[in-house]
Amino acid sequence: MSVIHEVQERVVKFFHKELGKEREALHFIKLNKAGDGWEAKVEVTELNEYLKKLGHPSIFDKNIYTIELDQGLEVTGYILGASRERSYATEAREEV
């Protein structure tokens, strides 16, 4: 397995273990060498729990996380950077 694939797998495992996200919810935007380590930008589709509690249909946010890994491929930090447009679940959408 190439190093870049190992980095990608480490990021996927991190999201699964720490944030409970499955691989299908992740979309890699950027994955590159940064100094002695690696940096990944990942778009994560997440249910907006706040709007769900207000009674809105299932609305999903697309949040951008930046993940930093050291040269041993251990995650050393992550940050939620931005949110993208919201989308409705297909079963909750009404046709007009």
Mean pLDDT for the stretch of residues 48-69? 89
39-53 confidence digits (pLDDT tens): 999 999 988 888 888
User: DSSP label at 2?
Assistant: -
Model pTM?
A: 0.78
CB atoms within 10 A of CB 65: 21
Confidence of residue 84 (pLDDT cuts 50, 70, 90): low
Collect contacts of 21-25 with beta carbons under 8 A, ≥24 apart.
Answer: 21/46
